């Protein structure tokens, strides 16, 4: 839904809505995991949101509402909510099934609808020429190594701390993106971008170092 929505909306809409993932994770964690949001974690979420917004300033600068983009924006919103729900649900399943099993099962479950969407594209993968095929191989390699390995590590972290505390670290992504763009592409972002990344790092440190017992633990007899 995310790439489908971006092609029918704007990257700025995707950047804006992606900032809601940690907040949505905190909301889903209450009914699904019994985790109650603590004040310190809430403050960290707010600081992380502000920092990520500053780091993503260039993407958000072009944000504007156009009714013609409503369908694409709705797809991005569905993808964002699905991302948050997946993270919280995976946290519940990973301790019993294992992080790699949850991730592999998710990929298999996502394959049929992905192929269905691919069939509606102007150039499906099975009709690609050599240039496009080489690009698809690169996408596959990127998915297996950084995305696949990164998700396994992420799920293992989720099994060790509360979802809201782990969610704050998502606000570090714009900062890493800016750093990679500067190192690989030679881009020179403004100082506010680096300030936002630093603020997100402070928020992540604040959240991960704060004890946040779950609601279920509070109700269990001592």
In DSSP notation, 91-141 reads: HHHHHHH-HHHHHHHHHHHHHHHHHHHHHTSSS-GGG--HHHHHHHHHHHH
**Is residue 74 pLDDT above 60, yes or no?**
yes
CA distances (Å), origin 48, targets 163, 188, 211: 15, 22, 18
Number of H helices, E strands in the chain: 13, 0
> What was the pLDDT predicted at 183?
81
Sign of CA dihedral 165, 168, 170, 176: negative
> What was the pLDDT predicted at 217?
44
If we measure between CA atoms, which residue out of 219, 197, 203, 175 comes closest to residue 23? 203
Tokens of 191: 């100082």
> What was the pLDDT predicted at 221?
44
Q: Which whole number is the average pLDDT over 18-34?
A: 87
Contacts of 84 (CB under 8 A, 6+ apart): 20, 21, 22, 24, 25, 27, 28, 167
pLDDT in tens, 128-138: 566 677 777 87
**Is residue 126 pLDDT above 70, yes or no?**
no
CB 13 within 8 Å of CB 63: yes
Buried b or exposed e, range 74-102, using 16+ CB within 10 angstroms: ebbbebbbebbebbbebbbbbeeeebeeb
> What was the pLDDT predicted at 85?
93
How far apart (Å, rounded) are the C-alpha atoms in residues 107 and 140? 13
Q: Which whole number is the average pLDDT over 143-169?
A: 83
**Is residue 39 pLDDT above 50, yes or no?**
yes
Rg, C-alpha atoms of the chain: 19
Contacts of 109 (CB under 8 A, 6+ apart): none
DSSP state letter for 56: T
**Is residue 94 pLDDT above 80, yes or no?**
yes
Residue 35 — φ and ψ, nearest 5°? -95, 125
> What was the pLDDT predicted at 107?
85
């Amino acid at each position: 839904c995310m790439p489908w929505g971006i092609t029918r909306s704007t990257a700025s809409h995707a950047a804006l809505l992606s900032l809601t993932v940690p907040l949505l994770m905190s909301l889903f964690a209450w009914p699904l995991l019994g985790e109650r949001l603590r004040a310190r974690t809430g403050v960290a979420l707010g600081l992380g949101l502000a920092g990520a917004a500053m780091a993503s300033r260039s993407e958000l600068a072009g944000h504007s509402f156009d009714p013609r983009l409503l369908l694409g924006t709705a797809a991005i919103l569905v993808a964002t909510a699905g991302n948050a729900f997946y993270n919280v649900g995976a946290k519940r399943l990973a301790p019993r099934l294992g992080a790699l099993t949850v991730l592999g099962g998710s990929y298999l479950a996502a394959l049929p609808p992905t192929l269905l969407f691919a069939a509606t594209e102007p150039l499906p993968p099975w009709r690609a020429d050599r240039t496009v095929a080489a690009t698809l191989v690169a996408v596959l390699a990127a998915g297996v190594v950084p995305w696949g390995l990164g998700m396994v590590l992420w799920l293992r972290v989720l099994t060790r701390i509360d979802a809201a505390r782990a969610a704050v670290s998502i606000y570090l992504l714009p900062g890493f993106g800016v750093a990679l763009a500067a190192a690989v592409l030679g881009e020179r972002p403004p100082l506010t971008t680096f300030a936002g990344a630093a603020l997100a790092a402070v928020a992540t440190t604040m959240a991960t170092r704060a004890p946040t017992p779950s609601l279920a633990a509070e109700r269990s007899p001592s």
